[in-house]
Amino acid sequence: MFYADEASVSLSSSSGRTYAPRGRPAVLPINSEVSRRLYLASAISPAGELYYAVREKAFDGPAIVEFLKHLLAKVAQKVLVIWDNASVHDCEKTRQFLSTYPEAKRLHLVKQPTYSPQLNADEQVWSQLKCVGLKNTCYQNVKELEPKVREEMEKLKKDRSRIQQFFHHPDLGFL
């Protein structure tokens, strides 16, 4: 079983408490080019597994299909994916993939109720990435941002116990 979701990361991350010399305010650079960002998809399991994809364009039908193929290639048994009601999850390309790709027979997709991100454990991946891994950072371009995003995702991928904790978040309805 996997919870899956997509998100984007902008060049300027969330800012939080930081340190500066006494008497001087902290100065955090920002990049106002909010349209330039990286797009990510990830899937996590209660066993602490994390699979992810990073791209420079928003996820569309073909990209979601590639992500599902990647997940199927990594997991040998049947795969249950729980995700939100994004239109790319139920587009023509996704439906075509499910009906024609032989390996897709091992895949079962379940949609969460509309407007219920609190029910998706994978939302915690984005919180960890944006509010911890990328906190107080600013990049000039996507080429600078991508290695840091991959580094943070790889750190999280190795921390299986942290991923398992995401399933115990108090707002999550996971048993």
Average pLDDT over residues 118-134: 92
DSSP state of 90: G
DSSP state of 173: -
Residue 54 scores a pLDDT above 80: yes
Q: Where are the domains positioned within the chain?
A: 2-11+34-166
Judged by DSSP in three states, 132 sits in helix
Contact 49, 161 (CB under 8 A): no
- Tokens representing 92? 């023509």
Residue 4 scores a pLDDT above 60: yes
Residue 22 scores a pLDDT above 80: no
**Rounded CA gap, 172 and 123, in Å?**
10
Four-way CATH pick for 2-11+34-166: 1.10.287.70, 1.10.8.60, 3.90.550.10, 3.30.420.10: 3.30.420.10
Kindly report the number of other CB atoms within 10 A of residue 79's CB atom.
20
**Rounded CA gap, 128 and 113, in Å?**
23
Weakest-pLDDT range from 49-53, 82-86, 111-115, 154-158: 111-115
**Rounded CA gap, 45 and 38, in Å?**
23
H or E segment and range at residue 62: helix 61-74
